[in-house]
Structure formats: structure tokens, C-alpha cells
Amino acid sequence: MRTRPTLTWSAPGEALPRAGSLADVAEVLSRRRVLVLTGAGISTESGIPDYRGESGSLRRHTPMTYDEFTGSADGRRRYWARSHLGWRTIARASPNSGHHAVAALRAAGRVSAVITQNVDGLHRAAGTPGVVELHGNLDRVVCLGCRRTSGREELDARLRAANPDFGGTATRINPDGDVELAEDVVRAFTTVECLGCGGVLKPDVVFFGENVPRPRVQRCYRLVDEAAALLVLGSSLTVMSGLRFVRHAAKSGTPVLIVNRGRTRGDEYAGVRVDRPLGAALGELLALLAENPLPTTAAGS
């Protein structure tokens, strides 16, 4: 059973609960290893916009849904035409200071694991090991028929060959890897099928309205259960796929800390809530932690 996509969320009128400082976050990381959950806000400084910030893409476009992609050849053509251009921008993006800060925290033993809701691969590019990509990754493609997976570079070459005169001009990139594109350009685009069975090819990401694979969800719950605290970075937590882990942590008594620009759907569960842009905030957090060496027991746990 697929979930109904949640695209927007309205914050209540009351003030942010339990506001804190980066010193509060550093105090938690100085004595325990935490699980990090990141969202689109950590990638905005790499040139990839978020969905719901001040310049979020939901203000100008509706993301592809699972039902539209699987149920409509026109929907698939629209997605692949736009994503064919958008992928080049994603592939060229580089990790920013926020991604590198998370990698440094992981290497220093401050962070037990990283779960990301992003599909851009930038945490892996920054050198963070074992990242759980909750919503998949745009650099992989899966056949909905035979389930064969392949690399996005392979598909990119095939789409270039099938569309030698493709002259689309990309405007702004969206977090899901597509761009705005004129309809006449979309209609002229030719899609390709699976080389193995001739089935429909889909990026190996979770579309709106599609469920995250159960084994992946269960793994994330285990990571939450094993963590001493949960630190959310750059996510509005609007969609349940990320919010459920915050709720699970809070229900079990695991401290929740949130660093994000603007309100989040998980604010009521946070013991510490910091409203700051991530790049500068994480740089300051690293500086604060450098003054407090991690205890040997925590580093080895």
C-alpha cells in the first residue's frame, strides 16, 4: 500500500519550542555518539535547492509522483526529459562545508551513523562511510519489470544516443533532479527501455507517494534505537519518511536535536532547536567540539 504524498505543511502559530544554541548541541556530542538525519537543507550550498525553504522548488513545480510515473507514458517522458538535463547538474555538484563537517564528525567518533533523505550522493562524495540513503540515489536506475539495476552514466549515454538533437535549456534544478523545461521540448524527447527485458526504467529513488523499502526503514529504526541522541540537520521533516524516526526517538526517550533554517514538523519533539543556516552552524559546531575531546569510552562505543 502506497502512502498519499505530503507536499506541504503549515506550522502552528506559536513560538518555536525549546530554542537552544550550538553550545547545547556541542555539549551532547561531546559526551555521546549521535545519529544524524539530514535533509535537503544541507545541500542548498552545493547549488541544489530544497523543497520548502524560502526559495524552495515547491513554490514553482510539483514533484513527480509514483502513480504518475508508472501510470502514464507521457509522465515518464516528462520526467526523463527534464531529469536528463537535471542529472548533469547533480553529477557536477560538489559537497559543501556542511557535508564535510558531517564527515569530520563521523571520522572523529562523534556520530554513530548518518541517514539522509537526499538523493544527490553528496554525503558519500564527502567521504562519510555507510550512509543510509533513505530515498535512494539518482546515480542508479532500476527496471520495474526485471528489477535489474544499472548506473546513471550508462542511461545518460543511451538517452544522448536516442536524442542526438535534444536542445533543451535547463533553468533551475530541483531537489528530485529535474529542471523546468518547455513542453514542446518534452514532447520531442525519446525515452529508452530496459536492455534486459524491455521494461520501464525508473531512477532508483523513492518518488512522492511511494513507500521506502521496508528493510531500509527497519535498519533506520535500529540505528535510532542504538543511538544516544538524534541530530536532525537541514530538514523540515514534512514527510513522514523522516519524521517517523524523530517521533520514534522521542517516544523512547532518546534526545532529539534539530538544526534547521525555519520551522520543522518535528519541533515539538526537540529538546534543542537551533534556527541557523547549516554551513556556518556546522563549522562553528566543529570549533566548539575541538575544545572538548571525546571521552575514550564514547569514541570506542
Contacts of 214 (CB under 8 A, 6+ apart): none
Residue 26 scores a pLDDT above 60: yes
120-140 burial code (b ≥16 CB/10 A, e <16): bbbbbebebeebbbbbbbbbb
pLDDT at 172: 64
* pLDDT (tens digit per residue) in 73-84: 999 999 999 999
Helix H or strand E encompassing 83: helix 73-92
298's CB contacts (< 8 A; 6+ apart) are 31, 32, 33, 109
pLDDT at 46 exceeding the cut of 70: yes
Instruction: Indicate the average pLDDT of the chain.
Output: 87
pLDDT of 299 > 60? The answer is no
Asked whether residue 146 is marked as a ligand-binding residue, the answer is yes
**Per the annotation, does 220 bind a ligand?**
no
- Fold of the domain spanning 22-299: Rossmann fold (3.40.50)
Active site positions, annotated: 135
pLDDT at 101: 97
Q: 57 a known binding residue?
A: yes
pTM confidence score: 0.88
Instruction: Give the residue, 90 or 236, on which the prediction is more confident.
Output: 236
Residue in the structure block whose three cell numbers are 524552495 = 56
Please write the tens of the pLDDT for every residue from 116-169: 999 999 999 999 999 999 999 999 999 999 999 999 999 999 999 999 988 666
SS3 88: helix
To the question of whether residue 47 is assigned a binding role by annotation, the answer is yes
Q: How far apart are CA 301 and CA 297, in angstroms?
A: 6
Flag whether 22 is marked binding. Answer: no
Please tell me whether 252 is known to bind a ligand: no
Is pLDDT above 80 for 293? no
- Give the pLDDT band of residue 4 (cuts 50, 70, 90): very low
Q: Is 204 annotated as a binding residue?
A: no
Greater model confidence, 56 or 179: 179
Distance CA 11, CA 16 (A): 10
Q: Which of 142, 141, 143, 192 is nearest to 166 (CA)?
A: 192
pLDDT at 51 over 80: no
pLDDT digits (tens, 9 = 90+) for 165-208: 886 665 567 766 678 788 888 999 999 999 999 999 999 999 98
The DSSP secondary structure of 7-21, one letter per residue, reads ---PPPSSPPSSB--
Structural contact between residues 77 and 184, judged by C-beta atoms closer than 8 angstroms: no
Please spell the DSSP secondary structure of 34-81, one letter per residue: EEEEE-GGGTGGGT---SSSTT-GGGT-PPPBHHHHHH-HHHHHHHHH
